[in-house]
Amino acid sequence: MATPDTQRLEVHVFGAGEGESIIVQTPGGEWGVVDCFASSLTDPTTNAAYQFLERQGVEEIQFLCMTHPHRDHFRGMSQLLDRFKIRSFWRPAVLSGKRLEWLLESVRRDATKSGADKFLKDSEELFRIFSLVKEKKQTTGKPAIPRHAATGMQLLPSGSGAGNVEIWALAPSGRQIERYEDELSACFDADNRFVRAAANSSHNIASMALLIVFGETRIVLGGDVERSGWQDVLSEFDANQLSCHLVKVSHHGSTNGYSEGLWDCFSRERTPIAVITPYHRHRLPRKDALEHISQFSRVFTPCVDALRASEIPHEVSDVSLKSWLALRHRLKIRSHYIVPTFATIGFRSHLAPRTPRSTLKAVSMAIQRDRKRVIRRSAAIAFGQRDV
Ligand SMILES: [Zn+2]
């Protein structure tokens, strides 16, 4: 495995038109995975996160995070739990005890009712993930530390083996947790008999969003948080705390994936990079959302083909493609097939005293200063991802 660069945080966003996975390598050389997607539950070669980590020679994952229980965010996570040692498993605070049982039962009943093999397999996968998390706890001696995330919670303390990186939960808020609890409890009557399944769309209510802080560099991973979730974030954090360099856009660029004023906060000090993972089947991102987001950011996607196929006006599509080309040019990435399959962005943080203006300069300079290393790394991980 390559020696970690103590001054660089890496974020890799995967998403090939369905599902997403984000891999974080901390400056201490530790690894984190936020969400996961494998098109085949029996074939880990369809799991981008799994493949990437294997190629890097990783044995241990510092944290594995399921932002929320939707198939495009958890499918294939059992493959990671089977293969790697997981030190900490993060989930929204609502997914434990009775509420977790309600969820698993609701998803199972819904899948059985639909009779569709795909949904049955997904429901088994969700059950298996939570079973494996428990199993690891019982058998490895070193238990996977459970973290039940809610707004304001620090999930990764700085000064740990992760170097100078902190990770905080921006969402879900207490209000969203209560909404989701109501949704799950309505699936059962007073005698705990199943009444109806939770609406599939309701699982986004519980979605986590993360804030990664690395010196002056701030990164928001938005999960699938929807409008009312972001309203809560805006009421609990001030704009300076949300000003950032990179945003993994929430809910695949849907029109309910942001709220009024959110992108003003994200872009308060600089124009951030926005990474959108398209969801082809649901025709995401949407034109209105992309127009809105691109007013405040430079939009990138790991999957240009899916972006092109979604409902996007020609001129916006051109902007996104141009921004991709600009990034490729800046990083001198030569391999064509890097573009449609994943975005990889390396930041060298600037650990100087808080001076927002110079930070902006430092980050953009850092990418250039670090250019050669970023190129090599990008090329090294561009292994046959076209098939994923
Ligand atoms: Zn999603």
pLDDT of res. 138:
63
Distance 138 CA to ligand 1 centre (A): 31
Distance 96 CA to ligand 1 centre (A): 21
pLDDT of 312 > 50? The answer is: no
- Virtual torsion, Cα 62, 245, 27, 150, nearest 10 deg: -30
How confident is residue 284, by pLDDT bands cut at 50, 70 and 90? Answer: confident
Hey, what domains does the chain have and what are their CATH numbers?
A: 8-387 (3.60.15.10)
Distance 334 CA to ligand 1 centre (A): 30
pLDDT of res. 54:
84
CB atoms within 10 A of CB 2: 12
pLDDT digits (tens, 9 = 90+) for 224-239: 999 999 999 999 999 9
Distance 67 CA to ligand 1 centre (A): 9
Distance 127 CA to ligand 1 centre (A): 19
Q: Three-state SS across 210-259? A: EEEEECCEEEEECCCCCHHHHHHHHHHCCHHHHCCCEEECHHHHCCCCCC
Per-residue DSSP letter, 367:
H
pLDDT of res. 371:
32
Mean pLDDT rounded to a whole number for the chain: 77
pLDDT of res. 139:
64
pTM confidence score: 0.82
Distance 325 CA to ligand 1 centre (A): 26
Alpha helices in the chain (DSSP H): 48-55, 71-74, 77-83, 97-114, 117-139, 174-185, 227-236, 239-242, 262-266, 287-296, 304-309, 314-331, 356-369, 371-380
pLDDT digits (tens, 9 = 90+) for 327-358: 444 444 333 323 333 344 444 433 322 322 22
pLDDT of res. 303:
59
pLDDT of 247 > 70? The answer is: yes
Distance 121 CA to ligand 1 centre (A): 18
pLDDT digits (tens, 9 = 90+) for 136-183: 766 666 668 889 999 999 999 877 666 678 999 999 999 999 999 999
pLDDT digits (tens, 9 = 90+) for 64-95: 999 999 999 999 999 999 999 999 999 999 99
pLDDT of res. 352:
29
